[in-house]
Chain A
Amino acid sequence: MFEELFSLWSNPTFQNILFSTTILGAGTGALGCFIFLRKESLLGDTMSHSALPGVVLAFLLTLQRDMLWLALGAFVFSLAGALIINYVIRRTRVDQDAAQAIILSSFFALGVQLLSWVQNNVTANKAGLTHYLFGQAGALTHSDLILIIVVMSLIGVVLILFWNRWVLISFDSLFGKSIGIKTWLWESLLMGIVVLSIVIGISVVGVVLMSALLVAPSAASRQWVQTPKGMILLAAVFGGISGFLGTTISLAQPQIPTGPSIVVTLSFFSLLSLLLSPQRGILARWMLERTFQNSFAQQRMLRNMGRLGELHHDLFVKHKKTTLLTMDDQTQGPHQALEALRLRGLVTRTKENFYALTQKGVDTLKQGNKNGQP
């Protein structure tokens, strides 16, 4: 198994693909954090879908599958999609999500229409155009790798250099404006580099799955860290690893396409983060809630036993379990509460299966009455 993997990783053609997807994943993962934090995740999706008609039109105009022209078409249409959304939000009462949904589907539909028209009516050079739907990492060449490295480094430098600005426009844009920062300029620049990363990315994973590369790493990373810097680093790591692993899987099993393989790997990390992260994870929250409920149930049980005891003028009187269980009007685990109290030594169980408060239990109860809780 390891030998197979090793020979896979040392194959120069495969290395091109592996490096490309890893760097792409890391770069888009880092960049995506700002989209995620600005709550514009759907914007990435809209922009990547909007690129499709641009790609096909660029092909129709040149009748060649020249990477540069196709990228230019994608760039223009992505940007157009984003600008139209901005215009619609500002000038009408249509909300951001509705505007994005409308633009996304209309641009994408137009793209698919153009694409099928090309399939049926153009004969020359059209092969591979459909790969822009789901991407084709297998076709990545060494020059593609260089392009990806250059663009992603550029994005990285811009992110690091103007760090303050990105944090400002993501956290509190209004405050940014009030200290004289041209927020529209920085928002446009951010949009510009997002479009740039989309244009590069869609040839690898396709317009349909591109937004996952931008959003999934930040969603996963947000679960674990509490600072923007940490979040971006971890998102880059998630994105990079997913690119690498996803590509490895699809190289080892050629019938599995690369783009979806990367996205599935990413989803795996996201899901894991949503479930397992120590503070925000579903599991941690569930356990915290259980602990609370448990301790409340124990407090209720102790109090009920005390009240019953007062009625009998004997705090140490033995109670039937069914009595105690029916006294608790809440459904949250009176049975477990009783067991927990027994393990804590506040309650004892007799041979006949009766329950009674111990000295420690009575003390705790009295102490609790003084402090307001047992």
Chain B
Amino acid sequence: MLDKAVEIEDLTVAYLGHPALWDVDASIPRGSLSCILGPNGAGKSTLLKAALGLLKISAGRIRLLGQSIQAALPLCSYVPQRSGVDWDFPITVLEVARMGTYGRLGLVRRPGKKETSEAMEALERLQILELANRPIGELSGGQQQRCFLARALVQNAELYFLDEPFQGIDAHSERVIVEMLKDLRSKGKTIVVVHHDLQTVKEYFDYAILLNVRLIDQGPTSQVVTFENLKITYGGTLPFLRENNHV
């Protein structure tokens, strides 16, 4: 676990002069299933996007898999927030999954038989194969998320970044996705998830970064997801968790 998949040093990101991330030093161990925790506006999604070079950073250095972002990008997969796209877009589930191959197809090649069967395989793993030819507008929230994850699987990456994959989805979808993530971990891949639900943190993840614009703490979940740390991260909004012994 000494090997780092993500190394972030002195990262600062600001929007119109307002800091979203301030001087963050963080790292993610290779082969871990990690989460980024923090309240709304803590900069969780920003950290993910910055790590992939999707936005301009004000200061700092980022290395992925020991390389520059540019060099590591083909080995990375990013699952954006579900709310970021128009689900009324006229496209089928299969076509979305096939987008996972666009990165390696190059400028003008279209997905062929091989790419289609890869996409079908991913859809099957996420148990939405029967929806392959449906327009994405007909999917439920959980199915939409699984569709996005199928696209990520097709990318066949080493390092996965998922932005709030459990937001607003059904219990079955959540189980399927968690299973898939654990399966990826067992194959030595590294997964970084922006997460909201404190109740499931220890069950799902082995490493955590606690964030509220600044880094609060990071380390194995059993050590850093403590009531004291969460109180600092979230402010005074957490008493119910201690009562229920979730922390």
A-to-B contact residues, CB < 8 Å: 37, 39, 93, 161-165, 167-168, 170-172, 174-181, 222, 225-228, 230-231
Q: Which residues of B contact A37 (CB under 8 A)?
A: 86, 89-90
Q: Tell whether A167 pairs with B78 under 8 Å between CB atoms, given A179-B103, A180-B103.
A: no
Q: A177-B54, A178-B54 are in contact. Are A171 and B76 (CB under 8 A)?
A: no
- Cα–Cα, bound, A369→B90 (Å): 41
Chain A residues in 8 Å Cβ range of B90: 37, 222, 225-228, 230-231
Set B73, B84, B102, B161: member contacting A168, Cβ < 8 A: B102
Q: Verify A172–B99 contact, CB threshold 8 A.
A: yes
Closest to A92 in B: B16
Q: State whether A178 and B86 are in contact (beta carbons under 8 Å apart), knowing that A168-B102, A172-B80 are contacts in the complex.
A: no
User: Given the complex, which residues of B lie within 8 Å of A230, measured CB to CB?
Assistant: 90
Question: Complex: how many Å from CA A181 to CA B74?
Answer: 11
Among residues 180 to 229 in chain B, which have CB atoms less than 8 Å away from a CB atom of chain A? none
Contact of A178 among B70, B76, B135, B137 (CB under 8 A): B76
Lowest 4 CB-CB distances: which A-B pairs, in order? A178-B78, A179-B103, A226-B135, A180-B73
Knowing A39-B86, A161-B108, A180-B103, say if A175 contacts B92 (CB, 8 Å): no
| Further 4 A-B residue pairs, CB within 8 A, beyond A167-B99, A226-B90 | A163-B110, A164-B108, A170-B89, A178-B78
B35 within 8 A of A: no
Which residues of A sit under 8 angstroms from B89, Cβ to Cβ?
37, 170-171
Judged by DSSP, the binding face of B is: mixed
Chain B residues bordering chain A, tally (CB within 8 A): 32
Question: Which residue of B has the minimal Cβ distance to A37?
Answer: B89
Please report B residues at the A interface, Cβ cutoff 8 Å.
Answer: 16, 49, 52, 54, 70, 73-74, 76-78, 80, 84-86, 89-92, 95-96, 99, 102-103, 105, 107-108, 110, 135, 137, 151, 155, 161
A181 to B89, CA, bound (A): 20
A179 touches B102 (CB 8 A): yes
Across the interface, which residues of B come within 8 angstroms of A227, CB to CB?
90-92, 95, 135
- Report which residue of B86, B90, B99 has the largest number of chain A beta carbons within 10 angstroms of its beta carbon: B90
- Would you give 7 A-B contacts (Cβ < 8 Å), ordered by A? A162-B108, A165-B107, A167-B95, A171-B86, A174-B54, A179-B73, A231-B90
Chain B residues with CB under 8 A of A171? 85-86, 89, 91, 96, 99
Closest CB in chain A relative to B5 CB, distance in Å: 16
Q: State the majority secondary structure of interface residues on A.
A: helix
B92 proximity list for chain A (CB < 8 A): 226-227
Contact present for A179 and B155 (CB under 8 Å): yes
Give the nearest-CB partner of B16 in chain A.
A93
Residue of A with least CB distance to B85: A172
Q: Which of B73, B80, B91, B95 is packed against the most chain A CB atoms within 10 Å?
A: B91
Q: Which residues of A contact B73 (CB under 8 A)?
A: 178-180
Min CB distance A311 to B, Å, is 42
Contacts of A163 in B (CB 8 A): 110
Cβ–Cβ < 8 Å partners of B151 in chain A: 175
Bound together, the chains give a CA A230 to CA B91 distance in angstroms of: 10
B70 cross-chain contacts in A, Cβ below 8 A: 180
A88 vs chain B, min Cβ distance (A):
13
**A168 to B151 CA separation, bound complex (whole angstroms):** 13
The listed residue (A39, A164, A226) touching B102 by CB distance below 8 A is: A164
Give complex CA distance A177, B78 in Å. 10
Q: Smallest Cβ distance from B53 to chain A, in angstroms?
A: 8
Given the complex, which residues of B lie within 8 Å of A226, measured CB to CB? 90-92, 135, 137
